[in-house]
Amino acid sequence: MSLLPFDPPRRLLLGPGPSDCHPRVLRAMSAPLLGHLDPAFTGLMNQLQDMLRQAYRTKNPLTMAISATGMAGMECCLVNLLEEGDKIVVCAAGHFGQRMIEVAGRARAVVTALQAPWGSVFDLNVIRETLGKVRPKVLGIVHAETSTGARQPLEELGKLCKEFDTLLVVDAVTSLGCIELELDRFGIDAVYSCTQKGLSCPPGLSPISFSEKAADVLRTRKSPVQSWYLDLTLLMKYWGQDRFYHHTAPITMNYALHEGLRIVLEEGMENRWKRHKLHHEALKAGLSELGLAYATEASAILPQLNAILIPSGLEDLPVRKAMLEDFGIEIGAGLGDFKGKIWRIGLMGYNCRKDIVFTVLGALGSVLKRQGWKKDPGAALAAADKFYQGSGASA
Amino acid sequence: MSLLPFDPPRRLLLGPGPSDCHPRVLRAMSAPLLGHLDPAFTGLMNQLQDMLRQAYRTKNPLTMAISATGMAGMECCLVNLLEEGDKIVVCAAGHFGQRMIEVAGRARAVVTALQAPWGSVFDLNVIRETLGKVRPKVLGIVHAETSTGARQPLEELGKLCKEFDTLLVVDAVTSLGCIELELDRFGIDAVYSCTQKGLSCPPGLSPISFSEKAADVLRTRKSPVQSWYLDLTLLMKYWGQDRFYHHTAPITMNYALHEGLRIVLEEGMENRWKRHKLHHEALKAGLSELGLAYATEASAILPQLNAILIPSGLEDLPVRKAMLEDFGIEIGAGLGDFKGKIWRIGLMGYNCRKDIVFTVLGALGSVLKRQGWKKDPGAALAAADKFYQGSGASA
């Protein structure tokens, strides 16, 4: 066994996440530890809650970071809101919707799966019909489906759920910090996200938020939450004024999230959303010159995650391998229905920049050309450049 | 809301954990991220498994780090091995034994609690009797009870469990890297630990290991594991050769664990165990001069966690507050039955050193003196010094 230090190779992470950390976040993590009940650390926790409320656009008191990755956030929302036999409708048009079905089933809920083709989004009327038929306690839906690059419109969904007295649970793993998300305005009852995408931190925490209505459901549960580690009735007492010891928080990851959120709020949410849209448009202009089309319904394309159909005549693996090995650039493969059929190019948080748009277009164009593809990388760069000039935006 | 950077105050963490990170670990965490399916990262995972096997003294293939803190490791072991209605005996003589009872109950197991006074350990004959009566699928026990500073002897327990065809599940949160722990020799079937104590990393991962017998129980479960996030039947496929995507691993925490384990194995397990014993003995000699006695059964005192009775005439909070605010030293308070009755002084991993023994004796002795205590700090330092000279050990 080798005892050499681990020295990671140079990478530019342009897949579905993790995306690269902001350098300020990397520096924040080298600070010495504090105890998890130290007044200085509990002060940090308060600041994190405030900043998360600003990022999520909510006044929810129950807003905090779960001490595990985004998928634990999904489990946390579902096992806390659902009890055995409760009804949930899950809208699934991709891998992460499917996963919600799986996790809700393990919480012993009665699950109605509303399916749609991968790459599409759900029509409000279809959801309305299902809510009327099933009358579920919870509706679960993915805001930014990482496996398909599709953005589910949420603006009207909260109102609809209120009509049916249904709690709206939203997967915001790939949306927080990248696209418009406003919990209170949209009427979202529970949300979970991650740290390694729009927030440009390492993976390791899951920011969640529960509305007052969802918190009431928690408080009046008949049975204990099946997961002790994810039990919000206990976690509230650690994050609340009691500071009741529950588990040892991942101190360093909380330092990272603090710095990550500072950077997000310094930029401002609207500016951040605009920046993601801007560089996505430039990338799209370049990809179009390369003859590459999106796998996602045109009106629903996510700026931060570009799901590109692999054209016939090109192979998946050799292209991704060359990108990784020759250029140090990671792009994502397809999952599930899209396995072998798409590439996923993420432009998230710190990595959503003009120089990176040019880097990925140049590298991908050159790799495709080597594989016999007839399109010219130079034309792709010119299209992006032209877009930026026309947009009037500075880098 | 303040947007100032977070600058943690200087602390020396001598409580029950987290203990200070090794500086090499802090440096390792500033490396840029890799993707969770990058060959360089999966190579790191393989090395982590090898090193964990060495640290745990096992050949168990199913050895890995769970992507959450130590308490998620407890939940992982229990929800994977237990199905609804399965019988478990839990030995509880402290807070973490109690917690195992709670977590096993939420896994819908039938729990028999074997209780003993806080600060004591269990006699093999008492356990034998209970196993004979209950015939449980699982016996759960804490190796190093963090709330009482007691070491449960484990050498013979594996054999006993085998007689009754019972799986032995051990909480090694405070023992790994500090005291003798040999999974294969002791006959342990499942174990969980943490990263922030004996391994001198930040909290954030839980190293676990399952014997082949325990892995067989997993493979033949009748129902799915209730936690999707902690489901080892899925996690095995991510940590195994399939590299099947499950969740996004906390990349940076895995860098930290890699460096932490390198340091542990460079020193060697036996040397590490000896070092913890050495500095504990020096601390004990000094504490004795200060007139402070242990709360733990004498034969069971843990070297890495010194649970000291607060003598009558001294108050808990003012002493801990002065240690923290005047000296920047965190020592631990009592929990549960020991709330307000003990202090807990941890000498773990990187923090288990001669200079730290002198630092804590000098500071504690001085704080106590200020509170009206008649013992002389100088005598405590002299006793520790004399012990070191007599031990023949270098610093």
Instruction: Give the tokens for residue A324.
Output: 């990784």
Alpha carbon of A213: minimum distance to chain B alpha carbons (Å): 25
Report how far residue A123's alpha carbon sits from residue A145's, in angstroms, rounded to the nearest whole number.
Answer: 15
Q: Where are the beta strands (DSSP E) in A134-189?
A: 138-142, 144-145, 150-151, 167-171
B294 plus B338 within the same structural domain: yes
Q: What is the dihedral of CA B223, B226, B227, B232, to 10 degrees?
A: -30
Contact residues on chain A for B327, CB-CB shorter than 8 A = none
Out of A266, A299, A334, a domain closes at: A266
Residue A40 lies inside a defined structural domain of this protein: yes
Are residue B281 and residue B232 in the same domain, yes or no? no
Please give the average per-residue pLDDT across A261-283, as a whole number: 98
Report A:184-203 residues touching B (Cβ under 8 A). 194, 196, 202-203
Region A346-365: mean pLDDT is: 98
Whether residue A281 contacts residue A374, with contact meaning beta carbons closer than 8 Å, is answered with no
Q: Who among A5, A18, A330 is closest to B262 (CB)?
A: A5
Phi-psi bin for A12: left (phi > 0), alpha (psi -120 to 50), beta? beta
Instruction: Report yes or no: A240 at the B interface, CB cutoff 8 Å.
Output: no
Give me chain B's average pLDDT, please. Answer: 97
Query: For B8, which of A32, A71, A259 is closest by C-beta distance?
Result: A32
Which residue of chain A has the CA closest to B52?
Answer: A1
Please give the pLDDT value at position A242. Answer: 86
**Rounded distance between C-alpha atoms, residue A9 and residue B269, angstroms:** 30
Burial B138-155 (b: 16+ CB within 10 A, else e): bbbbbbbbbbbbbbbebe
A55 Cβ partners below 8 Å, 6+ apart?
A176, A177, A199, A207, A261, A264, A265, A269
| C-alpha to C-alpha distance for B250 and B247, rounded to whole angstroms | 9
A190 and A68 in a common domain = yes
Q: What number is the average pLDDT over the span B357-362?
A: 98
pLDDT tens by residue, B247-278: 999 999 999 999 999 999 999 999 999 999 99
Domain at A256, CATH number: 3.40.640.10
Domain limit, last residue, from A247, A266, A285: A266
pLDDT band at A35 (very low <50, low <70, confident <90, very high): very high
Q: Are residues A99 and A236 in the same domain?
A: yes
Taking the C-alpha atoms of residue B202 and residue B197, their distance in angstroms, rounded to an integer, is: 8
CA angle B352-B306-B395, nearest 5°? Answer: 25
Residue A2's pLDDT is 52
pLDDT tens digit sequence for B187-214: 999 999 999 999 999 999 999 999 999 9
CB contacts under 8 A, A 86-125 vs B, are 99, 102-103, 105-107
Residue A17 located in a structural domain: no
B251 and B366 fall within a common domain: no
Cα B166 from Cα B175, distance rounded (Å): 22
Pairing of strands B206-210, B62-66: antiparallel
Residues of A in contact with B257 (CB under 8 A): none
Please tell me the distance from the alpha carbon of residue B27 to that of residue B91, in angstroms, as a whole number.
Answer: 40
Minimum Cα–Cα distance from B266: chain A residue? A3
Strand boundaries in A201-244, DSSP class E: 206-210
How confident is the model over A111-170, as pLDDT tens digits?
A: 999 999 999 999 999 999 999 999 999 999 999 999 999 999 999 999 999 999 999 999
A5 in B contact zone (CB under 8 Å): yes
Is A146 part of the contact surface with chain B (CB cutoff 8 Å)?
Answer: no
pLDDT given at position B53: 98
Contact B30 A34 (CB under 8 A): no
Q: How far is B179 from chain A (nearest CA, A)?
A: 21
Give B224: exposed, middle or buried? Use CB within 10 Å, 0-12, 13-18, 19+: middle
Residue B349 neighbours by CB distance under 10 Å: 30
Flag whether residue B21 sits within 8 Å of chain A, measured between CB atoms.
yes
For the record, the structure tokens of A10 come out as 């140079």
| Domain annotation covers residue A71 | yes
pTM to 2 decimal places: 0.97
Q: Cα(B13)–Cα(B367) distance, rounded to whole angstroms?
A: 17
Q: What is the CA radius of gyration of chain A?
A: 21
User: Mean pLDDT lowest for which of B223-227, B293-297, B327-331, B391-395?
Assistant: B391-395
How far, in Å, CA of B169 to CA of B192, rounded?
Answer: 8
Residue B7 belongs to some domain of the structure = no
A27 touches chain B (CB under 8 A): yes
Judge whether residue B395 has pLDDT over 80: no
Q: Answer whether the bond into residue A18 is a cis peptide, omega within 30°.
A: yes
Q: What is the pLDDT of residues A230-265, one digit of tens each?
A: 999 999 999 988 888 999 999 999 999 999 999 999
The answer on pLDDT for B279 being more than 80 is yes
Among B82, B229, B233, B320, most A C-beta atoms within 10 A, so best to mutate, is: B229
| Amino acid B394: pLDDT | 61
3-state secondary structure of B344: strand
B204 — contact with chain A (CB < 8 Å)? yes
**Does the beta carbon of A264 lie under 8 angstroms from any beta carbon of chain B?**
no
Q: Cβ of B248 and A71 within 8 Å?
A: yes
Q: Which residue has the tokens 């996923």?
A: A344
From the CA of B244, how many Å to the nearest CA of chain A? 11
Q: Between chains, do A250 and B69 touch, taking CB under 8 Å as contact?
A: yes
**Which residue bears the tokens 């730290």?**
B356
Query: Over the Cα atoms of chain B, what is R_g?
Result: 21
Asked if A34 and B9 come within 8 Å (Cβ–Cβ), the reply is yes
A100 vs A89: CA distance, rounded Å: 10
Q: Are residues A205 and A347 in the same domain?
A: no
Q: Which of B248, B261, B320, B335 to mutate to test the interface with A (most CBs of A within 10 A)?
A: B248
Residue ending a domain, choose from B266, B283, B318 = B266
Residue A372 in tokens: 């016999």
Residue A393 confidence (pLDDT) above 90: no
C-beta contacts of B159-164 below 8 A and 24+ residues apart: B159/B187, B160/B124, B160/B127, B160/B128, B160/B131, B161/B131, B161/B187, B161/B189, B162/B187, B163/B131, B164/B131, B164/B132, B164/B135, B164/B136
Pair A262, A128 in one domain: yes
Residue-wise DSSP of A321-359? HHHHHHH-EE-EEP-GGGTTTEEEEE--GGG-SHHHHHH
Domain CATH number, residue A365: 3.90.1150.10
Q: For residue A3, what pLDDT band results from cuts at 50, 70 and 90?
A: confident
**What is the reported pLDDT for A240?**
87
pLDDT per residue as tens digits for the range B151-167: 999 999 999 999 999 99
Closest partner residue to A259 (CB to CB) among B5, B33, B228 is: B5
Is residue B3 assigned to a domain?
no
Å between A118 CA and nearest CA of chain B: 19
Domain containing B32: what range? 23-266
How do strand B87-92 and strand B110-115 relate by DSSP bridges? parallel
Tell me whether A260 touches chain B (CB under 8 Å): no
Q: Is the bond preceding B18 in cis, omega lying within 30 degrees of 0? A: yes
Share of chain B above pLDDT 90, in %: 97
- With CB atoms and an 8 Å threshold, state whether B29 touches A34: no
Contact at CB, A255 and B6, closer than 8 angstroms: yes
Distance of CA A50 to the CA centre of its chain: 20
Burial readout B317-335 (b: 16 or more C-beta within 10 A, e: otherwise): eebbebbbeebebbbbbbb
CB contact under 8 A, A106 and B44: no
Distance from CA of A73 to the nearest CA of B (A): 9
For testing contact with chain A, the best of B2, B6, B101 (most A CBs within 10 A): B6
Interface of B with A in 319-348 (CB under 8 A): 324, 330, 335
> Residue A33: which of B20, B36, B324 has the nearest Cβ?
B20
Q: How far is Cα B334 from Cα A38, in angstroms, rounded to an integer?
A: 15
First to last CA, chain B: 47
Residues 6+ apart with CB under 8 A from A18: A196, A197, A202, A203, B33, B35, B36, B248, B251
Assess contact for A39 and B317: CB atoms under 8 A: no
Q: How many angstroms separate the CA atoms of B13 and B18, rounded?
A: 7
Query: How would residue A392 be classed by pLDDT, with cut points 50, 70 and 90?
Result: confident
Instruction: Give B179's pLDDT tier (boundaries 50, 70, 90).
Output: very high
**What angle separates helix B39-56 from helix B251-267, to the nearest 10 degrees?**
40
Q: Given this model, what pLDDT does residue B242 score?
A: 86
Please write the tens of the pLDDT for every residue from B7-45. 999 999 999 999 999 999 999 999 999 999 999 999 999
**Number of domains forming the structure of chain B:** 2
Residue A171 lies in a domain: yes
Which residues from chain B sit within 8 angstroms of residue A63, using beta carbons? Answer: none
Q: Tens of pLDDT along A288-324? A: 999 999 999 999 999 999 999 999 999 999 999 999 9
DSSP B50-117: HHHHHHHT---SEEEEESB-HHHHHHHHHHHH--TT-EEEEEESSHHHHHHHHHHHHTT-EEEEEE--
Residue A254 and residue A284 in one domain: no
Q: Could you tell me if A10 and A187 are in contact, meaning their C-beta atoms sit under 8 angstroms apart?
A: no
Which pLDDT tens digit goes with each residue over A155-175?
999 999 999 999 999 999 999
C-alpha separations of A122 from A128, A300, B5, B252 in Å: 10, 10, 41, 36
Token readout for B230 is 């902690």
Contact A175, A145 (CB under 8 A): no
Residue B304 reports pLDDT greater than 90 = yes
Note whether B290 and B320 are same-domain residues. yes
With 80 as the cut, is the pLDDT of residue B289 above it?
Answer: yes
Residues A72 and A193 placed together within one structural domain of the fold: yes
Compare CB distances from B29 to A7, A75, A252 and report the shortest one's residue. Answer: A252
Whether B201 and B317 share a structural domain: no
Q: Which residues of B fall within a CB distance of 8 Å from A250? A: 69, 202-204, 250, 253
Is residue A57 within 8 A of residue A181, CB to CB? The reply is yes
Q: Are residues A286 and A360 in the same domain?
A: yes
Q: What is the pLDDT of residues A38-73, one digit of tens each?
A: 999 999 999 999 999 999 999 999 999 999 999 999
Residue B2's pLDDT is 52
- Note whether B8 contacts A: Cβ–Cβ < 8 A: yes
A44: in domain: yes
- Chain A residues close to B28, C-beta within 8 Å: 5-6
Q: Is B234 on the interface with A (CB under 8 A)?
A: no
Residue at B15 is within a domain: no
State the pLDDT confidence band at A394, using cuts at 50, 70 and 90: low
d(CA A33, CA B19): 8
